[in-house]
Amino acid sequence: LLEGLDLVLDAGQRLLITGPSGSGKTTLLRVLCGLVPAAGGRLQLPPPERILVLPQQPFLPLGSLRDQILFPAAADASALGDGALRHLMEQVGLAALAERYPDLGQEEDWSRVLSGGEQQRLGFARLLLRRPALVILDEASGALDLPAEEALYGLLVAAGPTVVSVGHRPSLRAFHHWELALNGGGGWRLAPILAPA
């Protein structure tokens, strides 16, 4: 997957992983998440409860709109009132959804009701709610237009976690400190990105 990479991300730094399709970007994220065992090398990550993964297609469990925001439910998050959750929805651009569903307890098949962009915005709401130490994003804004992506990444940067992103859009470079470009044959290039947000 990668040969000879020695990389340390300090708290709050942001890494963008790029490369052609099939170069191993998503596989690398799966190794970081522990879903695929590493064939060699060493990884040191925060504890699992301090990591949040935002995939391209967010998981939407059965339940209410409230459940979608709180997933995976944390004991302290369940005490939040609907007013706080509505404010969170407004922050990530879901005010229209909050208006469409004034009762956050309403249950729907959310994976069919919500557009891809709304689902990705829910992922960012979960991020703001949980405040993880490390966020791993696998094209988590690909269904959004550029202004929405910029607004959500701005919220991510302001929240201050360490970030590892996979993405194709050049616009994402503005929100990262480093770019790791994979070539698909184990080779890579690591370079700083000047003047990140």
Instruction: Report d(CA 149, CA 51) in Å as an integer.
Output: 21
Beta bridge partners of 196: none
pLDDT for the residue 75: 45
- Quick: pLDDT tens for 114-162: 999 999 999 999 999 999 999 999 999 999 999 999 999 999 999 999 9
74 confidence band (pLDDT: 50, 70, 90): low
What separation, in Å, do the N-terminal and C-terminal C-alpha atoms of the chain show? Answer: 29
pLDDT above 80 for 197: no
Q: Which helix (H) or strand (E) holds 35?
A: none
pLDDT at 78 over 70: no
Share above pLDDT 70 across residues of the chain, in percent, rounded to a whole number: 94
Write the DSSP assignment of 45-63 as a string of letters: ---GGGEEEE-SS----SE
Residues 6+ apart with CB under 8 A from 71: 59, 60, 61, 126
Please name the residue that has the structure tokens 């050049």. Answer: 170
Distance of alpha carbon 68 from alpha carbon 123, whole angstroms:
9
pTM: 0.90
